[in-house]
Amino acid sequence: MVNSLSSAPAGATPVPSPRRSAPVAPADAADTPALGPCTELREMRTAVIAAVPALRQLARAWADTAELDPVTAEALVLAVDEAVTNAVEHGHRDRPGLVRLVLTRADSGETTAVVADAGTWRPIPEDPGFRGRGLALIDRLADDSHVSHGPHGTTVHMTWYPG
């Protein structure tokens, strides 16, 4: 068996291998500074369908490390998923591009999610059929949300307030 020490016959004193360093003891917790909750995440992905679950998983991990309450965390993850899905399916339906995600939590507890793309806006149809409810869902999930669009893409801003 090979580990951080060289293998030696039974009874022999193991000698550190020149190829590997000896194990290092973990730092004492008292010596490790507390970092506190994660306050910001910035991520950019190619606007393809694989970006949707990848950014959803990042949003979930960030919500955990940002110490969001469970209701806000679930709302944020679902709203981000909807906004990223819209960016991929609608904003970049006819050309490749990127989708950007920025998550922040202020000292006040206010949490913001921004999803942006450089694609083209697709007007909301009169009759969306069985789909087309993402923006309405985002509006219900966030305490405040708004969408801005122009020649350089679309940005969805979502905010959750503490309490």
Residue range 41-63, pLDDT digits in tens: 999 999 999 999 999 999 999 99
pLDDT for position 135: 86
- The answer to whether 78 and 16 have CB atoms below 8 angstroms apart is no
Instruction: Outline where 41-133 has alpha helix (H).
Output: 51-65, 70-86
pLDDT at 134 over 90: no
pLDDT for position 160: 97
Domain ranges in the chain are 40-160
pLDDT at 10 over 90: no
Which residues lie below 8 Å from residue 132, measured CB to CB, with a gap of 6+?
A: 124, 125
Q: Which helix (H) or strand (E) covers residue 101, if one does?
A: strand 98-105
Residue given tokens 């679309």 in the structure block: 154
Phi and psi for 3 in degrees, rounded to 5?
A: -135, -150
pLDDT at 96 over 90: no
pLDDT digits (tens, 9 = 90+) for 101-119: 999 999 999 999 999 998 8
pLDDT at 2 over 60: no
- Between 3-12, 22-31, 51-60, 75-84, the lowest mean confidence (pLDDT) is in 3-12
The model's pTM is 0.73
pLDDT for position 112: 97
Architecture of domain 40-160 in CATH?
2-Layer Sandwich (3.30)
